[in-house]
Structure 1
Amino acid sequence: MPEDADDALAWETTASDVAYTCPGFDIVRDEVVLPDGTESDYDYLDDDPAVVVLPFTPDGDVVVIEEWRQAVKRVNRGLPAGGVETDDADLTAAARRELEEETGYEADSLHALTTVEPANGISNAVHHLFVAEGCTPTGERDLDFNESIRVAETTPDALRDAVREGACRDGRTALALLYYEAFEA
């Protein structure tokens, strides 16, 4: 039972099924009863947990990726990120794997930054944010068939400026950088 199931705002789910499935996610349709007794349906994106890595080089630069994002039809500057896989021993292992696969960089150390639900009005996605330090290009990239990625380094100040000016519109990147600067730096 969900932790808030007894809250007066909770919706009761009476039925649930997958309305659409594709590689990467499903669309789930729940039949629900609202707090006032109204019966309705609610569709949402069912997404696997993901890790997002804020990687710093020994010189303090940030390793970023530039990746084509079909949904917005442009190249997006952001942080390495990806889904947690069944053979990942834990979330830290998933973060290390995604960092190396997407960038070829390996980290001396990694620690958890925070966990967020980036779009919980339309998705059950959970993103686990990590900070990686001492990152050097000593690993091997292993991109998925549908990833088109360029790797670059930038300063934290330049990345923050890009977020502020709207040149970096990736929400995961903005949140990870600003959270880090507000609570960790």
Structure 2
Amino acid sequence: MADTDPSDGSGTDAGADDGSEGDGSTSDDLAWRTTGSEVEYTCPGFAVRRDDVILPDGTETDFHSVEDPPAVVILPFTPDGDVVVIEEWRQAVGRVNRGLPAGTADADDADLDAVARRELAEETGHEADSLRYLCAVEPANGLLDSVHHYYVARGCEPTAEPDLDFNESIRVEVTDYDDLLGAVLDGAVRDGRTILGVTRYELADRWR
């Protein structure tokens, strides 16, 4: 099955009430009907939305979800086959997180390839010779509407200092790919985006 084309906008619209699945199929007997929707809280990065819904059995209730912009996750290889990774403080879990560079798309970003190149440069100071789309994933579609778009970048070399946001605390490292894979498999890496990106590449890309 081909991966979703990031340019078609699929998976990025929230609040659909027609029972549509991300793959275009429908399950009308399972669909909830949305009768109203309101954003109850906003902050930099996301918003919390409340939908008034009618369940298939006729029950009327509400449902809260998070509106989260699309994101890109990059698996960046150097010319020698090593991987550029970042260590970043994560306040939510109170520790340094080791993983792949990633970032969110702005509202006016139409080209996700360009977003991936931008986030790679901003977080690591590296630029890639080539970029290839890997897959699209809905990381937690029971809670939020975001779609994460994964890329494999080749020929990554440092060209500038990282250009970090004021609230980003990041250290850049270059590591052996097999060491990163081992850390993913033995649980030393707990970052979900990194685990998914490395295993997706390993199982469906590296060995095909």
TM-score band (shorter)? Answer: over 0.9
% same residue: 64
SS of match in other structure, 2:126: coil
2:56 corresponds to 1:23: no
1:96 corresponds, among 113, 117, 142, to: 117
- Residue of structure 1 aligned with 2:135, choices 100, 114, 125: 114
State the alpha-carbon separation in 2 of the partners of residues 29 and 165 from structure 1: 39
Q: 1:86 to 1:32 in 2, by over 3 A?
A: closer
Once the 2 structures are TM-superposed, how far is the Cα of residue 86 of structure 1 from its aligned partner? 3.9
Distance 1:175 1:82 in 2: 16
Secondary structure of 2:40's counterpart equals strand
SS of equivalent to 1:139 = coil
Report the CA distance shift for 1:55/1:146 in structure 2 as closer, same or farther (over 3 A).
same
TM-fit CA distance, 1:163: 1.3
Q: Distance in 1 between matches of 2:149 and 2:66?
A: 18
Partner of 2:102: 81
1:63 pairs with one of 66, 84, 88:
84
1:144 paired residue among 121, 143, 165:
165
Q: What's the TM-score, normalizing by structure 2?
A: 0.85
1:125 aligned residue:
146
Q: Distance in 2 between matches of 1:39 and 1:52?
A: 38
Deviation string 1:134-173 (CA, Å, 9 cap, x unpaired) is 0000134210111000000111211111112221111110
Map 1:25-44 to 2 at 5 A: 25-44=46-65
What 5-or-longer segments of structure 1 have no aligned partner? none
Task: Classify the secondary structure of the residue corresponding to 2:158.
Answer: coil
**1:64, distance to aligned residue in structure 2 (A):** 0.3
Deviations 1:38-80 (A, max 9, x none): 1111111110001000000001011000000111110000111
Question: What is the CA RMSD across the aligned residues, in angstroms?
Answer: 1.3
Alpha carbons of structure 1 residues 77 and 21: separation in structure 2 relative to 1, 3 Å: same
Aligned equivalents of 1:34, 1:89: Cα separation in 2: 35
Amino acid at match of 2:176: T
**Partner Cα distance (2:29, 2:125) in 1:** 49
CA 1:36–1:177 in structure 2 vs 1: closer, same or farther (change >3 Å)?
A: same
Runs of 4+ residues deviating >6 angstroms: none
Distance in 2 between residues matched to 1:106 and 1:182, nearest whole Å: 26
Letter in 1 for 2:143: I
